[in-house]
Amino acid sequence: MMYRIPFLAVVIVALVALAGPPPLAADDKMHEATVLKAGDGKITLKFQGDVKKHVHDVAPDAMITLDDKQAKLEELKEGFPVKVMLNDKSVISMIEAKSKKK
């Protein structure tokens, strides 16, 4: 009986650890890029490992942060590194940006 309680505790901790954070929706993908231009509901990006410019629509309800604070699309400047989430129609639903100053 004494061995069952610690064993159960270990099993519960292992299950919680293995569960991890909730997964992203299957149709959403995170990408790292650099801002070339942003505004008017669109953003032009250069993705890592790609030389082409890519223009994407930004969803009206997209969550946009700059240095971990809520921001507007127009606040994102050329050269800012970003992580973006694209849905299956290549519309951006989330942008996490960092300013270049450190």
- Three-state DSSP at 64 gives strand
pLDDT of amino acid 90: 86
Measured between alpha carbons, how far is 63 from 96 in angstroms, rounded to an integer? 8
Mean pLDDT confidence for 11-37: 68
pLDDT tier for residue 102 given thresholds of 50, 70 and 90: low
| Domains in the chain: ranges and CATH | 29-97 (2.40.50.140)
Measured between alpha carbons, how far is 13 from 9 in angstroms, rounded to an integer? 6
DSSP class of residue 24? P
| Residues, the chain | 102
Surface-to-core class of residue 62, CB atoms within 10 Å of its CB (0-12 exposed, 13-18 middle, 19+ buried) = middle
**pLDDT tens, residue by residue, 50-72:** 889 999 999 999 999 999 999 99
**pLDDT tens, residue by residue, 27-51:** 457 899 999 999 999 999 999 888 8
